[in-house]
A and B are shown apart, each in its own frame.
Chain A
Amino acid sequence: MIEFKKVGKTFKDGFEALKNINLHVHKGELLTLIGPSGCGKTTTMMMINRLLEPTSGEIHVNGKNIKDQNPVDLRRNIGYVIQQIGLFPHMTIEENVALVPKLKKWSKDKYMKRVDELLKLVGLEPEVFKKRYPSELSGGQQQRIGVIRALAAEPPVVLMDEPFSALDPISREQLQDELVTLQDNIQKTIVFVTHDMDEALKIADRIAIMQGGEIIQLDTPDQILRHPKNTFVEEFIGEERLNKHSNGKTAESLMFERIATVKANRGLAEALQVMKETTVNSLMVTNRDGELEGVLYLHDLEQHYPDETKKVIDIMTSVKTKVAIDTPYAEVAEIFAKENPATIPVLDNGRLVGLITRSSMMRGLAGMKQQSEERV
């Protein structure tokens, strides 16, 4: 759909922004260009709608060399979403969305229908929002309009230049989710520039990682996580994400959270009661702050039960094996293999937050929901 053939770009000041780029964006895919600032990702994008002209090489969109096309006509067939949103403040939402269809001389009926259709697509009620001005909308709503404005004239190609990076984290997540759903329906060819790896991994069909004007690696998110091409890519993805991905999961996703606990200073009768209620044969013992003190086993409890002076703290066993919440799966598996514990408590800054059993680990690995309670 979009093809870069040996494209280079050197700016007037001598800065070589792009070196001999070859890139093929397939029809209907969402490709993200990602890299540190100055890597050439925005330059690459801006050459697709001829906001910048390449110094060397050719770019073809839909099989045609864009150099032979009128830039204005070309741009009207390529949607464009920018980071600053760029809604025209003196135009209503309706006027903003209908702008390109009007430029393309659509009939009024046709573009009015289209505006309603698009507003509904992003969950904004047309009757409520059509006549409003951009300043009356929240940032997230504004960028929703920015996105549908780009889609208004049904362009086969859409360019998005860090469209969500100026939004607050919650709106950003929402818009990313919506974009993924939207793309499932509309199947446009989207080139999406971002510097946020999480965003790229979440939305992209393929990711092109750029550095110094070159594409270092171009592959699916999965392949990039599994086989980062070099140390730059590894660093760019970040060690944490690599661990998370290649090893599957961390302790957090392997544990179950609703655990039976008892406070260290309680009496034995009470502990027995809790065990009966929850039908478990061991209880995690915590202090007032929720920090793990030890574990109480049923057989110890039964043995000491007649002594009414004893408290939980006197007969509990200390816990040697425990893991932090961000411990990777590999380590957890290692502990089960070597020490064969029945359970591994998971701590977050000393506080007990969950337990891993062999079965909860299996469920976590399979991506299944943890059961609300575990019988151990």
Chain B
Amino acid sequence: MDWGDFIDTVRDDWPEILIAVQEHLYLSFISILIGILISVPAGIIISRLKKIAEFVIGITAVFQTIPSLALFGFLLPVLGIGTTPAIIALTVYALLPILRNTYTGIIGVDESLIQAGKGMGMTSNQILWKIELPLALPIIMAGIRTATVLTIGVATLATFIAAGGLGDIIYRGLSTINNELVLAGAIPAALLAILFDAILRGIEKMVTPKGLK
């Protein structure tokens, strides 16, 4: 392995790497977005229905235990190849951390605050929006952060069902035994994960209510 070769590879394949990064971000973002849209409301709902909460979280935990490559394999006969099945698989992975954190965040809100809000004449909607969600937000954000880092990593496998992303470059490097090319895919993937982790950590701090810091 020669850093000079690596830089040459990056230079030569720059347009492809850029496209792969774009595809990678697209896959990850859409999946996380859908994951948030499903998990946050689901987390809120199961925080109201504690009896089924463990069950629902259990299901998402089962999904989480399926090896990522195998999950892409499972979806292949059902949904075929391409971006859509990849997004579905990645979304499934993003569900658990967000769902679990939303649930824990909300049920973790001090019961006496809910009682106070209710006793003061807040509706359950007002209690949700003005008390529960603001106080649970840092924990929900931490879940989103975990999901994001996870998804950016797993998204490298989307190449196996022809969904593109940085996995394409890594896979191409592996099959041609070109280490420089493998790194030209792997390093941006790692950088993306680190970058978004940092950005989201910043957001997490920002949304932490001032009185709780």
Chain A residues in the interface with B (C-beta under 8 A): 49, 51, 72-77, 80, 82-92, 99-100, 103, 133-135, 149-150, 159
Contacts and interface: CB of A to CB of B under 8 A. Distances in A.
6 contacts: A83-B112, A86-B117, A88-B116, A88-B211, A89-B135, A90-B209
B112 A86 contact: yes
B120 A100 contact: yes
A51 B119 contact: yes
B123 interface: yes
A90 B119 CA distance: 18
Given A72-B123, A84-B110, A84-B112, A89 B209 contact: yes
Interface in B113-159: 113, 115-123, 126, 130-131, 134-135
B211 A75 contact: no
Given A82-B112, A103-B126, A49 B119 contact: yes
Contact of A82 (B119, B122, B123, B130): B119
A91 B211 contact: yes
Nearest to A76: B121
B51 interface: no
A82 B110 CA distance: 13
Nearest to B119: A80
3 nearest A-B pairs in the assembled complex, by CB-CB distance = A86-B116, A90-B209, A133-B211
Given A86-B116, A100-B120, 9 more contacts: A77-B121, A80-B116, A82-B119, A84-B112, A84-B115, A90-B134, A90-B211, A99-B120, A103-B122
A369 B208 CA distance: 56
Contacts of B130: 88
Interface of B: 110, 112-113, 115-123, 126, 130-131, 134-135, 209-212
B115 A90 contact: no
A239 B1 CA distance: 91
Nearest to A80: B119
A90 B110 contact: no
Given A84-B110, A90-B135, A134 B120 contact: no
Contacts of A73: 121
A216 B126 CA distance: 40
A51 B118 contact: yes
Contacts of B117: 86, 88
B121 A90 contact: no
Contacts of B110: 84, 86
Contact of B113 (A83, A86, A100): A86
Nearest to A89: B211
A316 B17 CA distance: 109
Contact of B120 (A75, A90, A133): A75
A310 to B, nearest CB: 72
Contact of B211 (A74, A86, A92): A92
Contacts of B119: 49, 51, 75, 80, 82, 159
B212 A72 contact: no
A88 B133 CA distance: 12
Given A103-B126, A134-B211, A88 B113 contact: yes
Given A75-B119, A76-B120, A103-B122, A90 B210 contact: yes
Nearest to A91: B211
Contacts of A74: 121
A72 B118 CA distance: 8
Nearest to B122: A103
A75 B127 CA distance: 14
A149 B126 CA distance: 17
B126 A82 contact: no
Contacts of B131: 88
B116 A135 contact: no
A142 to B, nearest CB: 12
B50 to A, nearest CB: 16
A82 B115 contact: yes
Nearest to A134: B211
Given A86-B112, A90-B135, A80 B211 contact: no
Contacts of B121: 72-77, 100, 103
A92 B210 CA distance: 9
A83 B119 CA distance: 13
A100 B116 CA distance: 11
Nearest to B116: A86
B129 to A, nearest CB: 12
B211 A135 contact: yes
Given A86-B112, A86-B115, A80 B120 contact: yes
A373 B134 CA distance: 64
B116 A82 contact: yes
Contacts of B118: 51, 75
Contacts of A89: 113, 135, 209, 211-212
B142 to A, nearest CB: 17
